[in-house]
A and B are shown apart, each in its own frame.
Chain A
Amino acid sequence: MNESRPPILRIRDLHKWYDDLHILRGLSCDLRAGEKVAIIGPSGSGKSTLLRLLMTLESPDSGEIEVDGQAMWSTTPAGRTVAAGEDVLRRIRAKLGMVFQHFHLFPHLTVLRNITAAPQIVKGIARDAAERRAGELLEMVGLADKANAYPAQLSGGQKQRVAIARALAMDPSVMLFDEVTSALDPELVGEVQDVLRQLAHQAAMTMLIVTHEMQFAREIADHVMFFDAGTIVEQGAPEQIFSAPKEDRTREFLQRVIDR
């Protein structure tokens, strides 16, 4: 039924090199709007690189990326890979939100200002409207009482929940999560996962979640991609990937992480 609509994210034959390291090796995939996708795979396999390319923090060496039908990177008839204009890129980027492993909260701003900064500065939203929205988001992530705290006064789990609220304040339709619980003490992982679960209930929200928590991936995702050496080795429904992986590399990887 969704096949008639263009995918919200369309990636074709994406290549990325760092000097002579071939990090992404011809990656292709489609994401439908509202889909919750978990990306798993060994570290160094290019998961973060993919998210950073989507966020235009880096440029691909070749390949195509389309967001919601708009080309971000495309191939000319002559075979060259070119970026869309700065305007288009900015408009596309505004549809994406990203949460980082190490939070990257702005240390000089309060929690509230961390959340309202971009809506006010980038979108020109009035201060009280931005603050009202920030209040709702803080409520949602359970930190309404921390609005005036500085990041230094928060625990890791709280920082990450603020970072999620900050990204959501820009009303993205796709959220990218890059190992958002990996830098947390084990007892703080749950509170951040709870926020992600809550988000996953929103049907319209597309989520791309890089994670090392297999149990969580299985629970939250309706589609799982297994990355290795810069390509998608295997993808499918969580049940299939985790219970009956087809590829040897998937099986080996799952064996290794579950043994740990």
Chain B
Amino acid sequence: MPPPIDLLPSLMDGLRRTLVIAAGGSVLAIAFALLAGLGCLSRDPIVRTVARVYIEVFRGTSALVQLFWFYFALPILLGLRLDAMLVGVLVLGLNIGAYGAEVVRSAIESVPAGQVQAAAALSMNRWQTMRYIVLPQAILLMLPPFGNLLIELLKSTALVSMITVTDLTRAGLFLRDDTLRTAEVFGMLLLIYFSLSLMITAVMRGLERWLSHGQDYGGRQ
């Protein structure tokens, strides 16, 4: 294979791990975002507080610090060693989920009040209104910012290389040590991450188009 393509096979294992972490992290992030975003709007003050604290803590501390804390400090508290991959998925999910929660909350709040009133006038209860009227409309508003967050998550997966996971980035560092082709290796890493980001963007665009047919956002008031 011509250089720099010949570097690719040695990066494949790392790429696979990066993809696993990104996928697992995304699923967790979306789940946490929905839970905490809805939690912020709960009528129960305890639920609201828990959601708020989670969001502030994970948005307020650095993702890398969180990784270190979960990987090095938490095992001391728990008395057991945690798998580095698992910590990566969990921390990235929690971190991006906290940002996603704000997206969920503000999307729900920006569904016009008239929609909730109309649902109430049709005797729907809070849960039915949320499930059938508010969420389907809010999800459309969430998609673009969520797309950005998933790209942030993909980029953050590189951080797991610092807690011993041989992801794409760490595989690149090893490969550089082996080959000393520094510019090529790091250039290749950047290109791979860039392509993955483009893929996320494309998928989100498609999803948006698929979900948005026939909608108008123009609900007055």
Contact = CB atoms under 8 A, between A and B. Distances in A.
Is any CB of A less than 8 Å from a CB of B in the complex? yes
Interface of A: 52, 55-57, 90, 93-94, 96-98, 100, 102, 104-108, 110, 117-118, 121-122, 149-153, 163, 166-167, 170, 183
Contacts of A122: 122-125, 128
B123 A104 contact: no
Given A118-B122, A118-B123, A167-B122, A107 B137 contact: yes
A35 B214 CA distance: 39
Interface residues of B, number: 27
B132 interface: yes
Which of B125, B137, B140, B216: most chain A Cβ within 10 A? Answer: B216
B215 interface: yes
Q: Which 8 A-B pairs have the closest CB atoms?
A: A150-B214, A152-B216, A118-B122, A104-B118, A104-B114, A98-B121, A102-B220, A108-B136
Contacts of B213: 150
B115 interface: yes
B117 A104 contact: yes
Contact of A100 (B118, B136, B215): B118
A73 to B, nearest CB: 16
Given A121-B128, A121-B132, A107 B216 contact: yes
A104 B132 contact: no
Contact of A118 (B117, B124, B137, B140): B124
Contacts of A105: 118
A170 B123 contact: yes
Contacts of A55: 117, 120-121
B124 A121 contact: yes
B123 A94 contact: yes
A56 B124 CA distance: 12
12 contacts: A57-B120, A57-B121, A104-B118, A107-B218, A108-B136, A108-B215, A117-B132, A117-B133, A122-B122, A149-B214, A150-B214, A152-B214
A151 B216 contact: yes
A52 B140 CA distance: 29
A117 B122 CA distance: 9
Interface in B102-121: 112, 114-115, 117-121
Interface string B124-147: 110010001100110010000000
Contacts of B216: 107, 150-152
Which of A52, A104, A117, A170: most chain B Cβ within 10 A? Answer: A104
A125 to B, nearest CB: 13
B102 to A, nearest CB: 23
A99 B221 CA distance: 15
Nearest to B131: A121
A118 B124 CA distance: 7
Contact of A106 (B118, B121, B128, B220): B118
A104 B219 contact: yes
Interface string B199-210: 000000000000
A56 B128 CA distance: 17
Contacts of B125: 90, 122
Nearest to A92: B123
Contacts of B115: 104, 106
Contacts of B121: 55, 57, 93, 96-98, 100, 167
